Structure 1
């Protein structure tokens, strides 16, 4: 990779890793979790649509609407609702680690729905190691607190959504311009998130800090981040781009420690080593090569 590409990869990891802390800022200020999700998705949809209109044309967003709806629900709408809902109780750094299990689910789903990416022996060991890390995180940092356990399960479910969305997009949306897929999926996800947002009542008057946090989440953490993501996919390929999945939780833990006074526990350290290490091993496919298919966008 060139120096520019390395900088872009680190910038993407820093942006997506920081999303968990920004969500926590908005929640601590009293913004309802559903509104956090709705506003960031809607802002991201606007940014991506502007980029797509220039690059591929707005008509491209109408391609295969049934499948972009399903991908938008699985990969964006449901996970983006679950993450702020869970972060009401779970520390932002730990949330980033649990969502980093997405590649493990992608690998498992590939056994059934993407035979060309079948796991080899090392890949299966990696998946097992990653889930041991999840169990350790629950046992060490979440045990004994019902709300924490439920929140942790919601974050793992969000990671499963990323895996389902990725697998579904590979099977149904190949050949559609990535910006068009992203834009259409974001608009479907906006409609999905609008339902719980409307049901939660009116939006309270947020502080300036919360407005900035949500604006950054939407415009940069969802919109610009997707542009960087797809630029890297084009330039260095999906396999290398997916390293952002393993870097983002490190940033998430660092932001939580530095800005939110969250504790860095031994369980979190060991857990992230196992989750990230297992995910890296889980990229090993049958025949010893990583699959060169389109990756999921695992941003928070």
Structure 2
């Protein structure tokens, strides 16, 4: 909704509004009313929602402020600025010995594929489809967080998780325009 209110070029159709509402309901179903982890679980869910809002805001800012700049330039700039911001913190965490080649290769793979390549895809998507469609990715974040929780932390996948995930996917499909309501056709009037 933030994207649609800030950018006049993004239209809010009935189908998109329904898709956004269905996606939000899906996030609520996935999160649950009374999570098992207490306030920590609620704080974690709110952190995922806050990160989604940050991603959506960044898409709007990107479309407004840097729409004429090439994607590779934006990706390189954002990676350099992010690295410079983290550098002082890294200096306080220097290891006692140099890491092995496996660790170095892992860090390089994560930084090149998981961050730099992802930034190129992000800015290309922003240029091709705009911030409204780009922000729909944020609906998928809670689902991926739950999937990673199940794979890595052995968290339980419940019926509400699956139902909420399905609602999120339906909401994204409707809001992005990839799924549409069937059009009513009227029979021709014969004399």
Q: TM-score, normalising length from structure 2?
A: 0.68
Q: Which moved more, 1:152-161 or 1:140-149?
A: 140-149
List gaps (5 residues or longer) in structure 2.
182-191
List gaps (5 residues or longer) in structure 1.
1-107, 289-300
Q: How does 1:120-159 map to 2 (within 5 A)?
A: 120-139=13-32, 142-159=35-52
Asked if the contact 1:110/1:117 (under 8 Å) is kept, the reply is yes
Q: CA deviation at 1:147?
A: 1.6
More helix by share: 1
Which structure's relative contact order is higher, taking Cα pairs within 8 Å and 6+ residues apart? 2
Classify 1:145/1:117 alpha carbon distance in 2 versus 1 (closer, same or farther; 3 Å).
same
Asked if the contact 1:110/1:118 (under 8 Å) is kept, the reply is no
Q: Name the residue aligned to 1:119.
A: 12
Structure exhibiting the larger radius of gyration computed from Cα positions? 2
Classify 1:204/1:182 alpha carbon distance in 2 versus 1 (closer, same or farther; 3 Å).
same
Cα distance in 2 for residues equivalent to 1:268 and 1:121: 27
Classify 1:112/1:231 alpha carbon distance in 2 versus 1 (closer, same or farther; 3 Å).
closer
Across the aligned residues of Structure 1 and Structure 2, the Cα RMSD in angstroms comes to 3.8
* Correspondence for 1:238 among 126, 129, 140: 129
The CA deviation string for residues 224-262 of structure 1, in whole angstroms up to 9 with x for no partner, is 3344x269759xx438x96x9488877766665456534
Matched, 1:270 2:131: no
The number of equivalent residue pairs is 171
The CA deviation string for residues 109-139 of structure 1, in whole angstroms up to 9 with x for no partner, is 2222111112111111111111111222222
Cα distance in 1 for residues equivalent to 2:46 and 2:125: 30
Q: Name the residue aligned to 2:185.
A: none
Cα distance in 2 for residues equivalent to 1:207 and 1:255: 27
Q: CA deviation at 1:217?
A: 1.9
